Amino acid sequence: MNKKSFIQDPKIFAILVLGSSSGLPLALTGSTLQAWFTQSGVSLMTIGTLSLLGLPYMWKFLWAPILDCFTLPFLGRRRGWILLTQLGLAGLLLILATLDPISQPLIIGILALSLVFISASQDIVVDAYRTDVLAPEERGLGAAVFTLGYRIAMLVSGGLALIFADYFGWKATYLLMGLIMGMMALVTWRSPDEPFVLAVPQTFKSAVLDPFKQLMQREGIVVILLFIVFYKIGDALALSLMSNFLLSTLNFTLTEVGIAFKTFGLLATLVGAIMAGILLVRMRLFQALLIFGLLQAFSNLLFVVLAVAGKNFSLMITAITVESFCSGMSTAAFVAFIMSLCDKRFSATQYACLSALFALGRIIAGPLAAVMVEAFGWVQFYWWSFALCFPGIFLLLTLRRKVGLANAEAMG
């Protein structure tokens, strides 16, 4: 793909905007909503329960078959659902802008939970649309552009929303976010059609059973599923207690940590993802997964150096920047790999299931990290985060050698 086609390709532009549409609701039902409740004087117990709002993101694979099976009577199989969810999100955000956390916390909580459910549903169909519309050679760039849009939207609905609320108030902030979501729906209306797919599920039963059956009949499926769990587990382990490590152990300030993550870390992640997308146009996916995975592993060693050196702002910035860059590269390749596994007849269900399996690695990493730090200390913990990157690399090599994916579409 040359430079001109990259800029002008309507698919890539649509995926950039859809990435922003997926990323925008996350902070508005998480950290930004907590900040609104906190400033309004809502009790800590009530604020604590807001963390439960994220549950639909974990369980979205349960209703993904519905979105694979049923097609709305406008804009096709995927775009119709995307447009409907975006309009629902915009409407709920506009309604939230009219409410008061002190007198109406329960109503806000119910609407926020509904917003998360619709947001998770949007994610299901956006992932499916991205999988369906991109050719194999475009998947890496598509994953990178989607990540770019997602991160920009998180910055808008997170950090920038807090600044806007400080000047104009929370109601104006949520009103603005609702209007932005509505504008994204206009892009969906004009986005390219997804390819026509023969033999889509005709019944809900086939939409539920056939995706799993088709996945489980793949050669080497056990190794594939283990690879999905373990490829990023070392990275997830290293980051799982990062705030505690930097704030409590090394005694960096909130401002220093915020600068590191929100500025250097965010920019490095975006640059890494875009770099990976450009390279994936020219590289085989197996090569990218291997090289980017090794870079990810060795970037964790900078946290070993930081743990030994102690508080050093320049070293902290360097470690987070390098790790974020490598993480952006490996994530882009990994998302392209997951897309390559999905049958377009069931891409919503299969992508939702595979991404949930990927999330399992991050969930496991949290409690495991706490136990390891208590047992070994921070230096040994980060050595282990480096070592635990290699089971995923070994599984990748096993896929190449025994399953023969080097010659399959999944490996380019």
Tens of pLDDT, residue by residue, the chain (412 residues): 444 454 467 888 888 999 999 989 988 887 778 778 877 887 767 776 676 777 787 788 888 888 877 888 887 778 899 999 999 999 999 999 999 888 888 898 899 999 999 999 999 999 888 888 888 777 778 888 888 888 888 888 877 887 888 888 889 999 999 999 999 999 898 888 877 665 666 666 666 777 777 778 777 888 888 998 889 888 888 887 777 788 778 888 867 877 777 678 888 888 898 888 888 878 888 888 999 999 999 999 999 999 999 889 999 999 999 998 999 899 888 888 888 888 777 777 888 888 877 777 776 776 777 788 888 888 999 999 999 999 999 999 988 765 554 444 444 4
The rounded distance, in Å, linking the Cα atoms of 4 and 1 is 8
Residues 6+ apart with CB under 8 A from 152: 20, 23, 270
CB 279 within 8 A of CB 288: yes
Residues 56 and 169 in one domain: yes
Query: Do 46 and 188 lie in a common domain?
Result: yes
Q: Quick one: 309 and 395 in the same domain?
A: yes
Q: How many folded domains does the chain comprise?
A: 2
Dihedral sign computed on CA atoms, order 280, 270, 328, 174: negative
Asked if residue 313 belongs to a domain, the reply is yes
Residue 81 included in any domain = yes
238 with 361, same domain: the answer is yes
CA distance 8 to 235: 34
DSSP, residue by residue, 208-219: HHHHHHHHHTST
Domain coverage including residue 210: 206-411
In a domain, 100, yes or no: yes
Handedness of CA 346, 153, 76, 91 (dihedral sign): positive
Q: Tokens 């702002």, residue?
A: 313
Question: Residue 263 and residue 240: Cα distance in Å, rounded?
Answer: 19
User: What is residue 403's predicted lDDT score, i.e. its pLDDT?
Assistant: 54
Q: Which residue has the tokens 């040994």?
A: 380
Measured from the Cβ of residue 355, the count of other Cβ atoms closer than 10 Å reads: 19
Instruction: Name the domain boundary from 147, 177, 196.
Output: 196
Decide: 181 and 90 in contact? Cβ < 8 Å.
Answer: yes
Q: Could you tell me if residue 201 is inside a domain?
A: no
CA distance 44 to 383: 37
29 and 115 Cβ atoms separated by less than 8 Å? yes
- Cβ neighbour number for residue 374 with a 10 Å cutoff: 9
pLDDT of residue 98: 92
106 lies in some domain: yes
Last residue of a domain, one of 175, 196, 217: 196
- What's the CA gap between 26 and 51, in Å, rounded? 12
Same domain, 215 and 191: no
Which of helix, strand or coil describes residue 88? helix
Contact between residue 152 and residue 262 where contact means Cβ atoms under 8 Å apart: no
| Alpha-carbon radius of gyration of the chain | 21
Residues 323 and 216 in one domain: yes
My answer on whether 149 and 222 are in the same domain is no
**Which tokens in the block code for residue 359?**
């999330």
- For residues 182 and 241, state if they share a domain: no
Task: Map tokens 């915009």 to a residue.
Answer: 90
Q: Is the CB of residue 232 less than 8 Å from the CB of residue 360? A: no
Q: Same domain for 242 and 278?
A: yes
Domain co-membership, 179 together with 212: no
Does residue 370 belong to any structural domain of this protein? yes
CA distance 299 to 259: 19
Do 123 and 268 have their domain in common?
Answer: no
Hey, what are 218's tokens? 């793949």
Which of 138, 164, 196 is the endpoint of a domain? 196
* Within-domain flag for 253: yes
H or E stretch covering 37: helix 31-39
The CA-CA-CA angle for residues 169, 171, 173, to 5°, reads: 70
Cβ pair 210, 201 in contact under 8 A:
yes
Q: Are residues 158 and 37 in the same domain?
A: yes
First to last CA, the chain: 15
Dihedral pair phi/psi, residue 405, rounded to 5°:
-70, -10
CATH code: domain of residue 171:
1.20.1250.20
